Amino acid sequence: MSRYLVTGGAGFVGSHAVLALLDRGHEVVVFDNLTQGHRAAVPAAATLVEADLADAARVAEVFATWRFDAVLHFAALSIVGASMRDPLHYIAENVAHSLNLANAAVRAGCLRFVLSSTAALFGDPDRVPIDEACRIAPSNPYGDSKRMVEEGLEWAARIHGLRYAALRYFNAAGSDPQGRAGEDHDPETHLVPLAIDAALGRRPALTVFGEDYATPDGTCLRDYVHVTDLAEAHLAALARLETHGSCRYNVGSGTGASVKDVIAAVERVGGRPVPHSIGPRRAGDPPVLVAASDRLRAETGWAPRYGALDDIVRTAWTWREAHPKGYADRG
């Protein structure tokens, strides 16, 4: 059994990673300020430290209280549009918190670190599918903040011997297949839950941002990776770090689904129409973002189990239908 510190473990992806760790019999301490996450998303078997990463003394106290085998760092500000409105805040928070956390880990002798990084590193990519050798050129402050964190970790690796894994997620979606966790953001900005809520009549019609892209149906193509598969990628990366140095992996299913494909999948799975209208393009949306995850697969043996779009939508639908108010339904 190992013990892990999971920042942001009350959030969407983090809570699924916590489940994956607990399912393997590991001990988990969640560090989360609950600004975006939910107390009810933290299983009773995990310890919740409700605190902010800006509180360096509290972070140090956590490392003094427990000895961790690794840190999994999910906590971040992650809404692209908000980062365009308030770039300095986004960069300051994401970079300072992440590097202070890594510093505390190094000082405590905890030398394994997994970072939630992002496909936003690649901006409008120079080629697709996007592998790790593609040009890093973020087109928004959110993506750039993650680039800066990756660079900081690289220096810690060279100088302090930190072993880190930077996992560049594409679009996380779906819910725990056992129904123990789901997606509950406020505001919600992700397509799958928005389309489901539109179908369930819980929000107004969905707006599709542009249907004149150079894609088969004119809408943007994205790579949806099931959140449980993403959680498993963290375990795979942790295992890799046992025996190898730092790594950077693009994590996706490797197939693109258009906005219209997602709408069709929600209608198929839910048996209800998704009310929607076509709006203008949204600034800064690249037409196609699809991951090449060959390196992750080859080096760790990771493979998505829930790669089919209908699996992603079905698990998300089941959770959202059962939890009309998200985690608020669970107290």
Ligand X SMILES: NC(=O)c1ccc[n+]([C@@H]2O[C@H](COP(=O)([O-])OP(=O)(O)OC[C@H]3O[C@@H](n4cnc5c(N)ncnc54)[C@H](O)[C@@H]3O)[C@@H](O)[C@H]2O)c1
Q: At its nearest, how many Å lie between ligand X and the CB of residue 76?
A: 3
Backbone CA torsion sign across 214, 120, 231, 30 = negative
Query: Does residue 164 carry a catalytic annotation?
Result: no
Choose between 218 and 255: whose C-beta lies nearer to ligand X.
255
User: CA-CA distance, 272 to 180, in Å (whole number)?
Assistant: 25
Q: To which residue do tokens 């779906």 refer?
A: 174
Choose between 213 and 327: whose C-beta lies nearer to ligand X.
327
Identify the helix (H) or strand (E) that includes residue 312: helix 309-322
User: CA-CA distance, 198 to 276, in Å (whole number)?
Assistant: 8
Q: At its nearest, how many Å lie between ligand X and the CB of residue 35?
A: 4
Q: At its nearest, how many Å lie between ligand X and the CB of residue 100?
A: 10
Selected binder of ligand X within 10, 21, 59, 80 (CB under 6 A): 10
Residues near ligand X (CB under 6 A), total:
27
Per-residue burial over 185-197, b = 16 or more CB atoms within 10 Å of its CB, e = otherwise: beeeeebbbbbbb
Choose between 118 and 140: whose C-beta lies nearer to ligand X.
118
**In the numeric block, which tokens belong to residue 121?**
């590193």
Q: To which residue do tokens 């903040």 refer?
A: 145
Residue 8 interacts with ligand X (CB under 6 A)? yes
**In the numeric block, which tokens belong to residue 302?**
């990771």
**113 with 102: CB under 8 angstroms?**
yes
Residue 306 interacts with ligand X (CB under 6 A)? no
Report the relative pairing of strands 257-258 and 221-222 from DSSP bridges: antiparallel
Residues in a beta bridge with 30: 6, 48
Q: At its nearest, how many Å lie between ligand X and the CB of residue 308?
A: 18
User: CA-CA distance, 71 to 105, in Å (whole number)?
Assistant: 8
Selected binder of ligand X within 26, 97, 234, 260 (CB under 6 A): 97
User: CA-CA distance, 171 to 227, in Å (whole number)?
Assistant: 9
Selected binder of ligand X within 3, 185, 203, 297 (CB under 6 A): 185
**Cα 228 → chain centroid:** 11
Binding mask 28-57 for ligand X (x = CB under 6 A): ----xxxxxx--------------xxx---
Choose between 209 and 218: whose C-beta lies nearer to ligand X.
209
Residues in a beta bridge with 289: 222
For ligand X, the binding residues in 198-227 under the rule CB under 6 A are: none
Binding mask 140-179 for ligand X (x = CB under 6 A): -----------------------------x-xx-------
For ligand X, the binding residues in 56-95 under the rule CB under 6 A are: 74-76, 78
Residue 237 interacts with ligand X (CB under 6 A)? no
Amino acid, single-letter form, for residue 81: G
Cis upstream peptide for 324 (omega within 30°): no
Selected binder of ligand X within 83, 118, 246, 258 (CB under 6 A): 118
The catalytically annotated residue of 4, 90, 142, 224 is: 142
Catalytic positions are: 142
List interacting residues with ligand X (CB under 6 A): 7-8, 10-14, 32-37, 52-54, 74-76, 78, 97, 116, 118, 169, 171-172, 185
